[in-house]
Amino acid sequence: MQDFVLPHDPRWSDLYRAEATAIRAALPGMEIALHHIGSTAIPGIRAKPVIDMLGEVAELRALEDRNGALMALGYEALGAHGIAGRRYFLKADGAGRRTHHLHVYAVGDPHVARHIAFRDYLRQHPGRAAEYDRLKARLTRGGVSSREAYQSGKAPFIVRIEAEALAWSRRE
């Protein structure tokens, strides 16, 4: 489980940009705003080596009608996958390791603001980012037995920092 979370790799931003370009090319004529989110988008902190992407579209139904284009890029369309108003896509490599997560919401969905505020807050507050990094190190060093245990261990921090981030973003 120790290699589950890796030190920050500056190439993650390049991987995001390349994948965003591929997604836009696969969806000609569709307006889709894409954002690099999650820990791979925050310099200096450990992350699972999976590029998390957030998409915003005018209508989710229009995206669903074009799931085949994303599937041609190697994505699996998983529908809402437990979060109402989201369309979730998962991409894995030839060995079955996850490489990309694409979370798509309709423009204006509150989840969009939440994800972007969290990312931007940690980018602008290196002390909080370092706190998050230390938590991730502690969770993985402590022998976390599963992804679920890792996610549960991070949850209280994320909830607290999301609230701070949203308040901060409203002031900005």
CATH number, domain with residue 163: 3.30.460.10
pLDDT of res. 144: 67
Q: Which residue range(s) make up the domain with 11?
A: 2-171
pLDDT of res. 82: 95
Number of domains observed in the structure of the chain: 1
Q: What is the CA radius of gyration of the chain?
A: 16
Contacts of 87 (CB under 8 A, 6+ apart): 60, 63, 64, 77, 79, 80, 103, 104, 105
Burial 132-170 (b: 16+ CB within 10 A, else e): bbebbeebbeeebeeeeebeebbeeeeeebeeebbebbe
* Each residue's pLDDT expressed in tens, for the chain with a length of 172 residues: 445 889 999 999 999 999 999 999 999 999 999 999 999 999 999 999 999 999 999 999 999 999 999 999 999 999 999 999 999 999 999 999 999 999 999 999 999 999 999 999 999 999 999 999 999 998 888 666 678 888 899 999 999 999 999 999 999 8
Which two structure tokens, joined as six digits, stand for 12?
A: 């993650």
